[in-house]
Amino acid sequence: MSAELLVNVAPFETRIARVENGLAEELYIERTRGKGLRGNMYLGKVQRVIPGIQAAFVDIGLEKAGFLYAGDVPGARTENVSLETDDDENENKDDDDTSLGETHRQNITPIGQLLREGQELLVQVSREPISSKGPRLTAMVSLAGRYLVFLPGLDHIGIARRLESEEERTRLLNIAEQIKTDKGGLIIRTVAEGHSLEELQQDLIFLMRLWEDIAKRKESAAPSSMVHTELNLYLRVMRDFVDDEVRKIHIDSKEAYQSMKKFAKRFMPEVSRRLYYYPGDRPLFDVYGVEEEVNRALKRQVALKSGGSIVIDQAEALIAIDVNSGSFVGSRNLEETSFKTNLEAVHEIVHQLRLRNLGGIIVIDFIDMQDIENQKKVMEVLEEALNRDKTKTNFLPFTALGLIQLTRKRTRDSLGRMLQMECLRCDSTGLTKSMQTICYQLFREIVAEARAYPSEKLMVIAHPKLIDLMLGEENEMVVQLELFLGKEISFKQDAKFETDRYEVVLL
């Protein structure tokens, strides 16, 4: 599969889209005001140590303290560390503090023996703040290069699981043993496949020099201050996500293009010839249809070409996806209609998971299928589609209720939470009161006001639509209300009012 990266750089934000087969599959956004924290290092100060959850909260100079789990403190784990890692960025820490198994918890030293309140220590952000949670921290800091991840102070050699060839794995592990020093451990990244000892050694030399600079800054740093910042988004994406599938990288900023060209020549010369400056007047994201895909990804309901649809609802840590056949009736029977709609929905669901960056527990309610073979086929297609997703996922077979449950690793806020805000009109329910409900609520307030304060008349000021309803469909109720109260009710329209806002004035 061939892919392209589109780099859109502006003074206020940087956006990068990964386009596969003409369709935007992933989107990375970094705003100047809210630049990402992941990878940054801080001289933190322990605020609270909480033995009950085996964790500590560490002040790193931000609004919210960071969360540091005991297992992410050097010397905490008593069992041997695996030589493999799930990914290439040393993200082999669990996303949620509840995700570790009981066995692993029993092999971790109590947090009270590792840290004390007021203690200063070097920590690194391993996960961005998500929703109401502060950043996830680790005291086992790491520095990612092109081919290696350097682990200062650790005696460890790891290798990415995505490297499947046993022969190549053995060769790279042998190289790692040769170049490793007593200053730290190494993790071999997927992109190291096929590269020589000299190339890996040069990468390690650069990372060790960078670590020496960080160690010097730490000595003179004030508590709760930053001592190292990660690369900006476009250099980070080029370092971490440019693989053999990425054939072209289009950049619409001359400055960013030159910066990426310089970075590529030094660290990844094979990528340099794939960089292209885009000088066109038409926005780069418009040319490739990315803006349209982003707007589609912000909607709750996504239409399928067949006439069906999927509905996506996001809670704190749970995503519910419902598949509907809609107007699709193009098959001979219900079973075939359900099967074809589900197959089409699978590709759209995986596309939306990647583009929206949805993570946590995901429950998919497919249209019911009675044929077991059809269920197996949908499962196979889902597994194949998820294999294209570089974010770690796990899924279970169909339940008795026709549901599929899967988990997808959460590494940063979803697209929706990044680009949208809670609705002030509906209190984030997605629904508002019906006009009839507002009308009857107003009637109750009229009764309360008339009984509480003496007056001969009442005037209602409201939006024209609400007035029209009361003088139209609900006119009989207004007449009965006047007889019940023994008072005349008059109406005044105000188009500036919201439809659910009104005032009752005593005359």
> What's the pLDDT tens digit per position in 215-238?
999 999 999 999 998 888 999 888
| Whole-number Cα distances in Å, 35 to 7, 12, 31, 175, 235 | 16, 10, 5, 36, 14
The pLDDT of residue 218: 92
Pairing mode, if any, of strands 84-85 and 157-160? Answer: parallel
Amino acid at 60: I
Rounded CA-CA distance 133/250 in Å is 35
412: nearest Cα among 86, 60, 136, 180: 136
CATH for 3-34+234-290 (3.30.420.60, 3.40.50.970, 3.30.70.1400, 3.40.190.10):
3.30.420.60
The pLDDT of residue 267: 78
Amino acid at 192: A
- Cβ–Cβ < 8 Å for 74, 124: no
CATH for 43-229 (3.40.50.970, 2.40.50.140, 3.40.50.10470, 3.20.20.70):
2.40.50.140
Rounded CA-CA distance 110/71 in Å is 9
* Prediction pTM value: 0.73
| Segment (H or E) for 385 | helix 372-386
3-class DSSP state of 39: coil
Rounded CA-CA distance 196/209 in Å is 21
pLDDT tens readout for residues 130-148: 777 889 999 999 999 888 9
Kindly give the confidence (pLDDT) of every residue in the chain, 507 residues in length, as a single tens digit, with 9 standing for 90 and above.
789 999 999 988 999 999 998 899 999 998 887 677 888 999 999 999 999 999 999 999 988 999 999 999 988 875 544 445 544 444 433 333 333 333 345 578 899 999 999 999 999 999 888 777 889 999 999 999 888 999 998 888 999 887 878 999 999 999 999 999 999 999 999 888 888 999 899 889 989 988 998 999 999 999 999 999 888 899 988 888 888 889 999 999 999 999 999 988 887 888 899 999 999 989 999 999 999 999 999 999 999 988 889 999 988 789 999 999 876 665 567 888 889 999 999 999 999 999 999 999 999 999 999 899 999 999 999 999 998 888 888 989 999 888 999 999 887 788 988 888 888 777 777 788 899 999 999 999 999 988 888 888 999 999 999 999 999 999 999 999 999 999 999 999 999 998 889 999 988
Pairing mode, if any, of strands 136-138 and 225-228? Answer: unpaired
199: nearest Cα among 144, 122, 146: 146
Question: Which residues, 6+ apart, have CB-to-CB distance to 198 below 8 Å?
Answer: none
Q: Considering just the CA atoms, what is the radius of gyration of the chain in Å?
A: 29
For the range 9-12, what are the long-range contacts, defined as Cβ-Cβ under 8 Å and sequence gap of 24 or more? 9/234, 9/251, 9/252, 9/253, 9/255, 9/256, 10/253
Chain centroid to CA 357: how far?
4
- Cβ–Cβ < 8 Å for 141, 123: yes
| Whole-number Cα distances in Å, 26 to 90, 176, 230, 350 | 20, 32, 21, 11
Superfamily of domain 435-506: Ribonuclease E, catalytic domain (3.40.1260.20)
| Segment (H or E) for 441 | helix 435-452
3-class DSSP state of 33: coil
Rounded CA-CA distance 94/409 in Å is 9
| Whole-number Cα distances in Å, 295 to 13, 79, 415, 449 | 17, 48, 11, 46
Instruction: Give just the sign of the alpha carbon dihedral 192, 187, 233, 290.
Output: positive
